[in-house]
Amino acid sequence: MRNRLLLASLASSALLVGCAGPVGSEEDARTGWAQTNAVLGTGASSAQSAGAVAPDEDPVFRAGNAVSVNYDYDCTGSGSVNYNGNYYFDASNVGSNVEFNYEADFKKCSDGSLTIDGTLDYALTADTTDTTSNLTYSYVGDLVWSGSVDGSCEIDMTGSFSAGGGAASISYKGSICGYDAAATLNVTI
């Protein structure tokens, strides 16, 4: 009796902790990431706009000042993503610098085909001049996907984009869902 009770207790604990296994394939990682990254980009743009709002000023955004952001983005299908962090913008005559650092907390965020849960630290540093652009993104966190992709995904990667002199490049380093980010998210321009 005691052994059955212990076994039932362990099984219940596994269900409560959440036993989503890792995504099934590298293609699943790529598909889940594409949908997650689309939500991140749209939500971050909305979060930055919301963080810049001050009721008595127009324009509301002052270059060179960090803005605190705590914004709930409503996902297109259902659920939300809370963006909590900072956004910074500074411009000069020949370029600009943009930085943000958010904790993106996905709460059953769905685009209609994929539901995302979990937390992702999401940051960007962008430096541009009149002839070059350099962007570096970083992503660290744990997500659970269900729908078009099922499983858990640990993400620890950076993505870089550089353009100038008629050339452009995109590269990834780190890991996504246990796969090499550079190989999984290979991009050619």
Domain boundaries defined on the chain: 23-184
User: Which residues of the chain fall short of a pLDDT of 50?
Assistant: 1-19, 53-60
Check residue 173 and give its pLDDT: 95
Question: DSSP secondary-structure letter at 46?
Answer: H
Check residue 15 and give its pLDDT: 31
Residues 6 or more apart in contact with residue 160 via CB below 8 angstroms: 134, 135, 136, 137, 169, 170, 171, 172, 173
CA angle 65, 88, 83 (to 5 degrees): 120
Check residue 98 and give its pLDDT: 83
- The token pair at 187 is 């991009």
